[in-house]
Amino acid sequence: MSAYDRPAIDAKTFRPRTQLVHGGVARSGFGETSEALFLTQGFVYNSAEQAAGRFTGEDEGFQYSRFGNPTVAMFEERMALLEGAEAARATATGMAAVTTALMGQVKAGDHVVASRALFGSCLYIVQDLLPRFGVESTLVDGHDLAQWKAALRPNTKTAFLESPTNPNLSVLDIAAIADIVHGVGATLVVDNVFATPLMQKPLELGADCVVYSATKHIDGQGRCLGGVILGSKAFIETHIQVYIRQTGPSLSPFNAWVLLKGLETLPLRIAQQQDSAQKLADFLASEAKIARVFYPGRPDHPQYELARRQMKGGSTMVALEIKGGQAAAFRFANALEVIKISNNLGDAKSLITHPSTTTHQRLTEEARLDVGVTQGMLRLSVGLEDADDLIDDLKRGLAAV
């Protein structure tokens, strides 16, 4: 330590907003203010002995960016602080995180249970991909605790759910489901994208693993893809670390750097987007051309009490059902000027999508109705624009219906 070095304060003692600005920072010898971007594939060693030591683990340090990189490690550390997790591993996309979290735990002959209301690609992993490798899967109505109980088998290794669900923001009881699956020694993995790490803490509710598409609110400005897997040190070391090291769904250091900057402003963006989402949901609910609004922060939401218990705040997303089916939904979306038509979400720009013809197109009409996706449903991701401009835009949409 030189005379000018300052002892570091443990970031665990900081409040979340401070952690999101300072957590995980590993400054280089240049003392840069902003997180350094280590755009490097590999690392050089001082000696052959040191190289050997890195590979046995006796010498701490980086070897190759597929296994670890300083910028990626800063992002992982900051995410772990925010989530209150012992360990985190970043991945190239949200789907790489989901695939790794599930594939990393199972082998042929195992069984997986999942809630039916999943993001389209997650449904593919559970329903199509896992069975190709001899892992059977059962889909349940996530609200029905009896179905979770009935689906469990002695060989059930893990359970998977998303809450609030895409697209209709239905809320599942994470604590109750964790209890049930732990009864047969299985783990629970929660896709927490719609809640964001600020509104819901699945690990505190009993989940064993949390996954994010960092592409969404964590970047928050529509720039790059990313994902992250969080859990106990034992969970990550047993199921995730080696899988990522050997199969390579690793996050690019450049994307990790963008995501680190995203985390700095996450609380400000989420607070603003959630505030606007509540206003938009309340506005839409008062309109005669709207059959239904789905928003966890409104007392007319079917799981309002559960949402209040389990989540801080409503959501940055609103789902709505327009009277008049697909034709009315298309007329509404096409008349919008500020809100853009896009299947993405969590962006600074407000985005709207018609799930039944986009994200849920692959499903049969029956399967869509099973998860509440009707022809008149639209999913709105609320951005950072002025809420009054967004309400004016919704009025333009309604006038066209």
Ligand X SMILES: *Cc1c(COP(=O)(O)O)cnc(C)c1O
Binding site for ligand X (CB under 6 A): 93-95, 98, 119, 121-122, 162, 166, 191, 193-194, 213, 215-216, 225, 227
Choice between 34 and 344, CB closer to ligand X: 344
Nearest to ligand X of 166, 276 (CB atom): 166
Q: To the nearest whole angstrom, how small is the minimum distance from the Cβ of residue 195 to ligand X? A: 10
| Exposed/middle/buried for residue 121 (C-beta within 10 Å: 0-12, 13-18, 19+) | middle
Cβ atoms of residues 302 and 170 within 8 Å: yes
Query: Distance between CA 123 and CA 308 in Å, rounded?
Result: 27
Comparing C-alpha atoms, which of 169, 149, 100, 141 is closest to residue 310?
Answer: 169
Minimal distance in Å, beta carbon 282 to ligand X?
24
- Which residue has its beta carbon closest to ligand X? 94
State which residue, 355 or 397, has the beta carbon closest to ligand X. Answer: 355
In the complex, the smallest distance separating the C-beta of residue 120 from ligand X, rounded to whole angstroms, is 9
Cβ pair 311, 199 in contact under 8 A: yes
**DSSP codes joined into one string, 4-45:** T--PPPPGGGS-HHHHHHHTT----TT--SSPP----SB---
Q: Do 143 and 170 contact (CB within 8 A), yes or no?
A: yes
Output 107 or 362, the one with its CB closest to ligand X: 362
CA 165 to chain centre: 11
Pairwise CA distance, residues 154 & 261, whole Å: 44
User: Minimum distance between the CB of residue 345 and ligand X, rounded to whole angstroms?
Assistant: 6
**Closest distance of CB 122 from ligand X, Å:** 6
What are the helix (H) ranges across 11-158?
16-22, 48-56, 70-83, 94-103, 120-124, 130-132, 145-151
Residue 161 or residue 387: which is nearer to ligand X going by CB?
161
309 closest CA partner among 319, 296, 318: 296
Nearer of residues 276 and 381 to ligand X, judged by Cβ: 381
Cis peptide before 296 (omega within 30 of 0): no
Q: How far is the CB of 209 from ligand X (least distance, A)?
A: 14
Shortest Cβ 351–ligand X spacing (Å): 12
Nearer to ligand X, 96 or 394 (CB): 96
Listed residue (295, 308, 313, 291) closest to 398, CA to CA: 291
**Judging by beta carbons within 10 Å of its beta carbon (0-12, 13-18, 19+), is residue 108 exposed, middle or buried?**
exposed
Shortest Å distance, C-beta 31 to ligand X:
34
Instruction: Give the shortest CB-217-to-ligand X separation in angstroms.
Output: 10
In the bound state with ligand X, the residue whose beta carbon lies nearer, of 126 and 152, is: 126
Nearer to ligand X, 193 or 198 (CB): 193
Q: How far is the CB of 309 from ligand X (least distance, A)?
A: 21
Q: Closer to ligand X at the Cβ: 121 or 326? A: 121
What is the rounded CA–CA span in Å between residue 150 and residue 145?
9
Cα separation of 38 and 168, whole Å?
40
* 108, amino acid identity: A
Q: Which of 220, 245, 229, 208 is nearest to 55 (CA)?
A: 245
**Residue 147: Cβ-neighbour burial (10 angstroms; 0-12, 13-18, 19+):** middle
**Closer by beta carbon to ligand X, 69 or else 316:** 316
Least gap, CB of 359 to ligand X (angstroms): 9
Q: Identify the bridge partners of residue 292 per DSSP, sorted by sequence position.
A: 321
